[in-house]
A and B are shown apart, each in its own frame.
Chain A
Amino acid sequence: MANDTATSASGSREKMAEGDKNAEKLKEMANNCFKEKDYDNAIKYYTEALELNPASAIYFSNRSLAYLRTECYGYALADATKCLEIDKNYIKGYYRRATSNMSLGKFKAALKDYETVVRVRPNDKDAKMKYQECNKIVKQKAFERAIASDEIKKSVVDSLDIENMMIEDEYTGPKLEEGKVTMTFMKEMMECFKDQKKLHRKCAYQILIQVKELLSKLPSLIEITLKETEKITICGDTHGQFYDLLNIFELNGLPSETNPYLFNGDFVDRGSFSLEVILTLFGFKLLLPDSFYLLREVSMLLPDSFYLLRGNHETDNMNQMYGFEGEVKAKYTTPMFTLFSEVFQWLPLAQCINGKVLVMHGGLFSEDGVMLDDLRKIDRNRQPPDSGPMCDLLWSDPQPQNGRSVSKRGVSCQFGPDVTERFLEQNNLDYIVRSHEVKAEGYEVTHSGKCITVFSAPNYCDQMANKGAYIHLRGSDLKPEFHQFTAVPHPNVKPMAYANSLMQMGMM
Chain B
Amino acid sequence: MAARQPFTDSDTADEAVRSTCDDATTCKRYATSKGYWTDPYVQYFVRSVGERKAPEINRGYYARVQGMNHLLDAFLRKTECDCQIVNLGAGLDTTFWRLKDENLMPRKYFEVDFPMIAARKIHNIKTKPPLSKPLIETHSTDSLLLDGHSLDSDRYCIIGADLRDIPGLDDKLKKFHLNPELPTLFLSECVLVYMTPDQSSKLVNWASDTFHTAMFVNYEQLNMMDRFGQVMIENLQRRQCNLAGVEVCQSLESQKERFLKTGWENADALDMMTVYSVIPQDDVARIERLEFLDEKELLQQLLQHYSICWATKDKLKLGLSQVAF
Contacts and interface: CB of A to CB of B under 8 A. Distances in A.
Real binding pair: yes
Interface of A: 269-270, 312-313, 317-318, 321-322, 408-410, 437-438, 440, 459-466, 492, 495, 497, 500-508
Given A463-B232, A465-B230, A465-B231, A504 B190 contact: no
B60 interface: yes
Nearest to A507: B60
A502 B190 CA distance: 21
Interface of B: 20, 23-24, 27, 51-54, 57, 60-61, 64, 190, 221, 226-228, 230-232, 235-236, 238-239, 241, 291-292, 294-298, 301-302, 305-306
Given A408-B296, A437-B297, A438-B297, A463 B27 contact: no
A465 B227 CA distance: 6
Contacts of A318: 294
Nearest to A436: B295
Given A438-B298, A507-B23, A507-B60, 5 more contacts: A408-B296, A410-B292, A464-B301, A504-B57, A505-B236
B297 A508 contact: no
B42 to A, nearest CB: 15
Q: Is the interface of B mostly helix, strand, loop or mixed?
A: helix
Contacts of A317: 292
Nearest to B220: A507
Q: In the complex, which of the residues A313, A460, A462, A501 has the most CB atoms of chain B within 10 Å of its own CB atom?
A: A501
Given A459-B231, A497-B51, A507 B297 contact: no
A318 B235 CA distance: 26
Nearest to A506: B232
A464 B54 contact: no
A504 B53 contact: yes
Contacts of B23: 507-508
B194 to A, nearest CB: 9
A438 B54 CA distance: 17
Given A463-B231, A464-B297, A497-B52, A508 B305 contact: no
Q: Is the interface of A mostly helix, strand, loop or mixed?
A: loop
B54 A502 contact: yes
B251 to A, nearest CB: 18
B50 to A, nearest CB: 8
Contact of A507 (B228, B238, B295, B306): B306
Given A318-B294, A504-B57, A507-B64, A463 B190 contact: no
Contacts of A312: 294
A466 B230 CA distance: 12
Contacts of B228: 463-465
Contacts of A461: 54, 298
B297 A505 contact: no
B232 A313 contact: no
Q: Which 6 A-B pairs have the closest CB atoms?
A: A465-B227, A501-B51, A508-B20, A508-B23, A465-B231, A502-B54
A344 to B, nearest CB: 16
Contacts of B54: 461, 501-504
A473 B27 CA distance: 45
A505 B243 CA distance: 13
Contact of A438 (B52, B227, B295): B295
18 contacts: A269-B294, A270-B294, A318-B294, A321-B292, A321-B294, A408-B296, A462-B235, A463-B298, A463-B302, A464-B298, A492-B238, A501-B51, A505-B235, A505-B236, A506-B221, A507-B57, A507-B64, A508-B23
A502 B52 contact: yes
A318 B295 CA distance: 11
Contacts of B52: 497, 501-502
A469 B310 CA distance: 41
Nearest to B61: A507
A322 B291 CA distance: 11
A506 B302 contact: yes
Contacts of A497: 51-52
Contacts of B64: 507
Contacts of A440: 227
A402 to B, nearest CB: 21
Contacts of A459: 231
A467 B83 CA distance: 50
Q: In the complex, which of the residues B27, B221, B298 has the most CB atoms of chain A within 10 Å of its own CB atom?
A: B298
A504 B301 CA distance: 13
A465 B302 CA distance: 12
Contacts of A313: 294
Nearest to A498: B52
Contact of A506 (B227, B291, B295, B305): B305
A96 B231 CA distance: 79
Contacts of B298: 438, 460-461, 463-464
